[in-house]
Each structure stands twice: as C-alpha cells, then as structure tokens.
C-alpha cells in the first residue's frame, strides 16, 4: 500500500541518485499508485469492505496490545470448531497512512477457510519512527500469543502477514536479536509477505523519507534483506503482475535471499496490482489464496 507520490509531482530531472535513476524517477518507482487508475477508489473499497466485515462477523474490537494509543487490534475469532490457526494482518500505507478501519477487507474468506484473524494498528510516521513501528508489530505478536487461550486460537500456528509497508514490518518481526519490542521470531509459525520493501536505502532517497526521516544507518538497520538469519519459518512471498520495476526488483532479491534460509512459496499474480493483491488472501482457487491456506494447514495447494 502506498500514498501518492507527493514529491514525484514536483521533482524535476536531475543527477542520478540510485541505480542510475534521478529523484523524480525514483519517486515514481516507490509510488505504486502510479500504476493504477485511482488509488482513492481502492481506499474507499478497503473501508467499505472492512466496515462490512466488522458488521457481519463477530469481532473483539480495539484490544490494546501495548501502551501507545495506536497499539490496538481487532480480533475476529475462527468460525469453526476446535482451535484454529491465526493470521495477523499488518496493513500498508507507506508507514504513514491507513489503520484498522480500512484493513479488515480480507477477513471474510480467511474466516470461511477456518482461520482466526487479527488486524493490527501501529503508530505512523512522522509521529512514530520506523524502529518503534517494528517494535509495535513484535509487541502485537507477543500480546496475541500471551492471550491465545482466551482468544481461542492455536499459539503454535500464528502466521504473520503484511502488505507493502506491512510486509516490511512483518519481515522485521522475523529477525531475532536486540531491537525495539520483544523477540518473537522463534514463535512465528510462518509469514506471508505481499509487495514488500526489504532494502530501505532507495526508500531513504525517495519522497517517502520526508515522513520517515531515515539516515543511512537507520535505513540499514531497518532493512530485513541485510539482516536475515540462517533459518526462517516457511514463507509465502507474493507480488502483483502490475508493480513498478523497483517493487519487482525488491521482491526478486528477497525471494533469492530467502531460498537459502526457508521453505519459500513464490506467487506472482499476473492479473493483480499492488493494491488488489491482498483481496486474494484466503480465496480458494487463486494462486495466493491457495498458497496461504496450504501454508496455514487449511487446504489449498503446496505447489
């Protein structure tokens, strides 16, 4: 998920700043909205579908998982018998937009497939820095695991899923070692990364950094591609067919790096773009839906 290319509209052609691209070109590459007719149409649809999910499905809303006012989540219990797996959804928005109210659109098919779902909110830039955001996602996972019995899901089957900026934050939660928030890496059963950014150096050089305010060290520290451990849980890594070249390159680099460390299922949904790819989460008969459901032990296909 991305907000619009504010600086890309005012930048002019100039000297190369990254991989031969000038600032205007780099700004467009990190603005997926440049590839779709209307970002606003997607945002309205996200809100409409999310409102319907909260209206039509049982939900425990606004559960506080940490001390910051933004550290809230909505929990949708599994509809079937037994103790279901949990998918924790981390929204996108270039780390500076959206929240829980627009991010429950993928809940119904996941519930119908047999999963429980948690939709988390986290603080946004510029008010909250990227280190703190990553810590909030880790803290949400720790809180959910600590309350698994009361919520009614299997803590051994917690799967983390993020889209765009959310994919970056989900990937950060997979990293062990010292960082903001608790180390939950060993307790995540698997992850689903959609259209993510995993090396933040080009992000730092683009308009996105007006809100993030990363320096070179901060970009490196928050680049999961440079910090991957030797072993990781199983992953689904997906992108749409209609993505900018930089998003494709980030996806390809991450998939290559992960193949030495984890069981990876790659999905390229040719008829999807950056914004509608998450609609396929949990939808049987789609490449992403089948991969995610197989990943969670809910059917689907494994290849």
What residue numbers bound the domain in which 286 lies? 33-295
State yes or no: pLDDT of 12 exceeds 80: no
Percent of the chain with pLDDT over 90: 91
Residue 9 lies in a domain: no
Residue 134 lies in a domain: yes
CA distances in angstroms from 119 to 103, 208, 228, listed in the order given: 7, 24, 25
How many domains, the chain?
A: 1
Per-residue pLDDT reduced to its tens digit, 208-266: 999 999 999 999 999 999 999 999 999 999 999 999 999 999 999 999 999 999 999 99
* Residue 254, pLDDT score: 98
Residue 27 lies in a domain: no
Helix 165-173 to helix 130-146 angle (10° resolution) is: 60
Shortest CA distance to 73 belongs to which of 158, 130, 2? 158
Residue 89 lies in a domain: yes
* Residue 4, pLDDT score: 53
pLDDT category of residue 302 using cuts at 50, 70 and 90: low
What is the C-alpha to C-alpha distance for residues 206 and 31, in angstroms, rounded to an integer? 10
- The CATH number linked to 58 is 3.40.50.1820
Residue 301 lies in a domain: no
Token pair, residue 252, equals 């390809």
Residue 10 lies in a domain: no
Per-residue pLDDT reduced to its tens digit, 181-212: 999 999 999 999 999 999 999 999 999 999 99
- The mean predicted confidence, pLDDT, of the chain is 94
State yes or no: pLDDT of 7 exceeds 80: no
Residue 291 lies in a domain: yes
State yes or no: pLDDT of 9 exceeds 60: no
């Amino acid at each position: 998920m991305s907000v619009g290319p504010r600086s890309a509209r005012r930048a002019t052609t100039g000297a190369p700043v990254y991989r031969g691209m000038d600032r205007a070109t780099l700004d467009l590459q990190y603005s997926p909205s440049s590839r779709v007719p209307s970002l606003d149409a997607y945002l309205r649809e996200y809100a409409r579908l999310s409102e319907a999910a909260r209206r039509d499905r049982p939900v425990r809303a606004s559960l506080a998982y940490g001390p910051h006012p933004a550290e809230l989540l909505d929990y949708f219990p599994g509809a079937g018998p037994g103790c279901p797996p949990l998918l924790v959804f981390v929204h996108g928005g270039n780390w500076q937009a959206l929240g829980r109210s627009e991010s429950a659109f993928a809940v119904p098919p996941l519930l119908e497939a047999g999963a429980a779902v948690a939709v988390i909110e986290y603080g946004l830039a510029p008010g909250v820095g990227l280190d703190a955001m990553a810590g909030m996602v880790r803290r949400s996972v720790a809180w959910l695991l600590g309350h698994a019995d009361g919520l009614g899901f299997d803590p051994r089957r917690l799967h983390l899923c993020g889209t765009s900026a959310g994919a970056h934050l989900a990937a950060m939660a997979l990293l062990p070692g010292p960082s903001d928030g608790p180390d939950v890496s060993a307790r995540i059963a698997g992850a689903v990364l959609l259209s993510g950014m995993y090396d933040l150096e080009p992000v730092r050089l683009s308009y996105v950094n007006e809100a993030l305010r990363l320096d070179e060290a901060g970009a490196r520290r928050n680049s999961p591609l440079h910090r991957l451990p030797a072993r990781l849980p199983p992953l689904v890594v997906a992108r749409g067919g209609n993505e900018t070249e930089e998003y494709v390159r980030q996806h390809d680099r991450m998939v290559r790096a992960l193949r030495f460390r984890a069981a990876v299922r790659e999905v390229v949904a040719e008829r999807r773009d950056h914004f509608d790819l998450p609609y396929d989460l949990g939808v049987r008969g789609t490449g992403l839906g089948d991969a995610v459901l197989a990943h969670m032990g809910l059917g689907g296909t494994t290849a």
